[in-house]
Amino acid sequence: MLYNYNVRYMNYLDDYIIFLKTEKKLGVNSITSYEFDLDSFFKFFTLDVVNCTKNDILGYIGSLKGSSVSTINRHISSLKGYFNYLLENNYIRVNPMEDISILKKSKLLPKYLSISEVDNLLNIKLVTPFDYRNKAMLELMYGTGLRVSELVKLKYSNIDFENSLVRVTGKGKKDRIIPMGEVCAYYLKIYLSEYRNKLLKRNTYDEVFLNNHGKPITRQGFNFILENIKESAGITKTLTPHVLRHSFATHLLEGGADIRSIQEMLGHENISTTNIYTEVVNDVLKENYLGFHPRARKDS
């Protein structure tokens, strides 16, 4: 319930809440959120709401420093709705929220492994059929950027060794063809020709990668294997199948690959999804420049 910090204009708040309930048809949780945000504002701004200015609003937003961007944006949105209501109903003549925009959220750049970390991860000691399977899986994941869902569904018929290509069906049941490097193809051939049948036992599955029961490996099974290999490799970063996919794309771009080609290989419908990797690479280039160029910093 809103506190009576601005007695003269509390009826506007009551009217606004009724408006949200009856006209906007908002639910209980949304109404409670609006009440909380407006209550917070009127604890800060105790003057006549008609005299509220843009500077008052900016001062209030500044008082929220330390809150998350999402929380601050929620408060801004609540105030926008409230002051728009006051303006439309002629309770105020000037809307102090008119030029106030929500804050931009910082983009979460994809996490990826360095090339040396990938080398450590793929340096699997090959002894058992499971070792060869794991080596083939990780080389394929890193070498083609497959999603884990695509990896576990991969069948022998999807692999074209003659032309070094892999065909997968991705999101939206869209097929795509991805080139396969020599290293990846080499270990995949060894696994298929010498070790897969030992894992298959008496089963008759077409999927390439099998678990210790001779059945197709699951996403959960792959994640478990990846985590164990990560620990053995001494990698401290969070490592998921998607981090391998991000590493594939980032290292390609660092090596000079065309962004459109990477989009095709990843199976992104929109180029904007792939463009996030250019920001990763730009950050890496900037760090290298600042770290190694003799005139990158004024005090160097």
Q: Which of 242, 260, 286, 293 is catalytic?
A: 242
Q: Is 268 a catalytic residue?
A: yes
Q: How many CB atoms are located within 10 Å of the residue 41 CB? A: 23
Q: Is 251 a catalytic residue?
A: no
Q: pTM for this one?
A: 0.62
CB distance 220 to 149 below 8 Å: no
Q: Is 213 a catalytic residue?
A: no
Sorted by sequence, the CB contacts under 8 Å of residue 156 that are 6+ apart come out as 192, 206, 208
Q: How many CB atoms are located within 10 Å of the residue 46 CB? A: 10
Q: Which of 105, 155, 171, 174 is catalytic?
A: 171
Q: Which of 147, 196, 246, 251 is catalytic?
A: 147
What is the rounded CA–CA span in Å between residue 192 and residue 139?
A: 14
Alpha carbon separation from 159 to 176, 242, 282 (Å, rounded): 12, 21, 34
* pLDDT by position in tens, the chain (length 300): 444 445 445 558 888 989 999 998 888 888 999 999 998 998 898 888 888 999 999 999 999 988 888 899 999 999 999 999 999 999 889 999 998 888 877 666 788 999 999 999 999 999 999 999 999 999 999 999 999 999 999 999 999 999 999 999 888 788 999 999 999 999 999 999 999 999 998 888 999 999 999 999 999 999 999 999 999 999 999 999 999 999 999 999 888 888 888 899 998 888 877 888 877 777 665 665 566 545 456 564
Sorted by sequence, the CB contacts under 8 Å of residue 168 that are 6+ apart come out as 146, 150, 153, 154, 158, 175, 176, 178, 267
Q: Is 242 a catalytic residue?
A: yes
